[in-house]
């Protein structure tokens, strides 16, 4: 039995204070399969589609909360949220951004 593959749109918040006056969004098409997380999509984007894209993750197993982001408006861990359909990924706090989805300071689920 083969895994079903699907192309989804991943719309990500972009902002580099050194180069941008205002934040904007870029949309990337990513192929997903069963068990593919939002973190996997962000990593794929950074490694294969846009090397200037920045995000942060540490443990990748749902323990550290380093990969927190707003996924379709809800704060979740990117490493444990499965990518099944189109998503919009924002920083937890757009005022706390070093660049793109990389926060200036540590995040928590309580924010």
**Taking residues 58-79, what's their average pLDDT?**
83
- Distance in angstroms (rounded) separating the CA atoms of residues 10 and 8: 6
Assign 60 a pLDDT band (cuts: 50, 70, 90).
Answer: low
Residue 65's CB is within 10 A of a number of other CB atoms, namely: 18
This prediction's pTM: 0.87
Nearest Cα residue to 7 out of 91, 103, 85, 75 = 85
Average pLDDT, the chain: 88
With tokens 């099944």, the residue in question is 84
Nearest Cα residue to 9 out of 35, 54, 37, 41 = 41
β-sheet bridge partners, residue 50: none
pLDDT tens for 81-104 read 999 999 999 999 888 888 999 988
């Amino acid at each position: 039995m083969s895994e079903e593959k699907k192309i989804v749109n991943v719309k990500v918040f972009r902002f580099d204070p050194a180069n941008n006056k205002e934040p904007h969004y870029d949309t990337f098409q990513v192929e997903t399969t069963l068990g593919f997380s939002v973190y996997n999509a962000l990593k794929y984007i950074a490694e294969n589609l846009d090397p200037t894209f920045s995000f942060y993750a540490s443990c990748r197993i749902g323990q550290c909360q380093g990969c927190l982001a707003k996924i379709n408006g809800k704060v979740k861990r990117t490493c444990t949220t499965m990518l099944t359909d189109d998503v919009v990924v924002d920083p937890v706090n757009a005022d706390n951004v070093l660049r793109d989805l990389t926060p200036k300071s540590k995040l928590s689920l309580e924010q």
